[in-house]
Structure 1
Amino acid sequence: MLLYSKVQNNAIRKVIHLCNQKQIRFEVNDKLINKLSTKDNCYAIGVFKKQFNGLAQFDNHIVLDRPGDMGNMGTIIRTAVGFGIINLGIILPAVDVYNPKVVRSSMGSIFKTNIQYFESFQEYMNNFHNAIYTFRLDGKIELHKIEVNKSKAYTLVFGNESSGLPDDYQVLDDGIVIRHTQDIDSLNLAVSVGIAAHHFRSV
């Protein structure tokens, strides 16, 4: 943990207390913080090892196919954890979930999430056998009409922000569509994940 010497507010004092309590090494290093930080109001920087624990078998998952927006990624992680889904599969190529923008927008939820990257969705399916629900603009079933089999773990699958899911996902299921007015082309990816995760938790 790196700390900035010129700021000694309650937040910094709390960080120092937690570091001492958890035996986390910290140092005061203004020069290094100024070099690493991309924001002017950064007073502490955590240094940690990236961890990819793998996804839990027999649990619910969200899979994102080639996500490209770091802010969306952090919001999706935070939202998924909020609705009880702590397993996130990511199909490459994709953003780095440990990019500072993702970590910040996840509001710490990334450290409560099991994350695993896959080269393809086929690789994911070779390892997990959940019920698959793909979300597509051309989906044939409206979300509110979906009947969820609670006896089996499920996977909610979403495409990237600009192009959605590729056509080869159409063989997996009829697809789910989240209806909205004709005044917009589509919903934001993070919003779509939030709506879907809430629905599947509620039914």
Structure 2
Amino acid sequence: MHKDGKKSVVGEQVVKPYKKDAEYSYTLGAFPTFELLKARPEQVRKVVIDPSFTDQEKLISLCKELMITYEHNQKLISKISDKENCYVAAIFDKYTCELGSERPHIVLVNPSNMGNLGTILRTAVGFGIYDIAIILPGADIFHPKTVRSSMGALFKLRFHQYQSFQEYRNEFQKHQIFTFMLNGENTLTIQECPKVQLFSLVFGNEATGLDDSYLEVGTSILIPQSPDVDSLNLTIAVGIGAYVFTNQNKK
């Protein structure tokens, strides 16, 4: 049952591999499922458990506490999961969020890899940044691969998708913009990182980064690296930027 007491509507029509245009998605694995239940129980349609799952008493107890439907169905898990040894899954409704206007943001311009996107969400939450803007087109934030890579961090943060960077910029004009670029004009160091509470850290996609037009947007930042690699992995760059800025700007 849902928290409102209504029975979940999950029939055979939704038991199929994930589709981007569907109104629902899946968590695949026990950890992201527990995180979903704790953070956004109102979005959960059903929890599905493999009978051989060893920690099912804890999971079932939580489902009962939250009045969420559950069932034992290994065949259903196999039908919706693309990974072996998946013992728990949840079907949940997609949802929308609004970003906090008085919180720092990470802005991802056209992220293309779902695994990277999920890892970035986990990294952002790890460093205390809970607001993520995605400039479209971009990877599907609700794809089970993204959810799994985020280890449930998706459910702990706010995200919003924008058709253009300008649309985002128009909404958050008080934020100071820092664009991370290979030809950035300011080298990022722990000692010289700007001290500013309301910031937006902007990153391009894995293949092309940000184009030169972003040199005119806010302050361009270069993460120093050796000449033996052409660039840092996007997830690493986001992790470095988030770590330095959040530690420099702790209240």
TM over 0.5: yes
Task: Give the CA deviation at 1:174.
Answer: 4.3
Q: In structure 2, what residue type is equivalent to 1:159?
A: G
Identity of aligned residues (%): 45
2:221 & 2:69 partners in 1: Cα distance? 48
Counterparts of 1:84-95 in structure 2 under 5 Å?
84-95=128-139
Alpha-carbon distance, 1:51 to partner: 1.8
Q: Distance in 2 between matches of 1:96 and 1:199?
A: 28
Cα distance in structure 2, aligned partners of 1:146 and 1:127? 25
1:26 is aligned, of 34, 56, 70, to 70
Give the residue type in structure 1 aligned to 2:180: F
Contact 2:53–2:88 (8 Å) recurs in 1: no
**Residue 142 (structure 1) shift:** 0.5
CA deviations 1:92-142 (Å, max 9, x no partner) are: 010111111111111111111101000000000111121100000000100
Counterparts of 1:80 and 1:149 in 2: how far apart (Å)? 18
- RMSD, matched Cα: 1.2
Aligned with 1:60 (options 88, 104, 119): 104
2:177 corresponds to which of 132, 151, 165: 132
CA distance in 1, matches of 2:112, 2:77: 27
Residue 188 of structure 1 aligns with which residue? 233
Contact 2:177 2:219 (8 Å CA) reproduced: no
Does the 8 Å CA contact 2:53/2:87 hold for their aligned counterparts? no
* TM-score between both structures, scaled by the size of structure 1: 0.94
Displacement of 1:194 in angstroms is 0.6
TM-score normalized with structure 2 length:
0.76
Q: How does 1:97-108 map to 2 (within 5 A)?
A: 97-108=141-152
Alignment of 1:46-57 (within 5 A): 46-57=90-101
| Structure 2 unaligned spans of 5+ | 1-46
Aligned length: 199
State the secondary structure of the residue aligned to 2:93.
coil
| Corresponding residue for residue 80 of structure 1 | 124
**Divergent runs of 4+, >3 A:** none
Residue equivalent to 2:194? 147
In structure 2, which of residues 49, 67, 72 is the aligned counterpart of residue 3 of structure 1? 49
Letter of the 2:67 counterpart: Q
Instruction: Give distance in 2, aligned partners of 1:200 and 1:138.
Output: 19
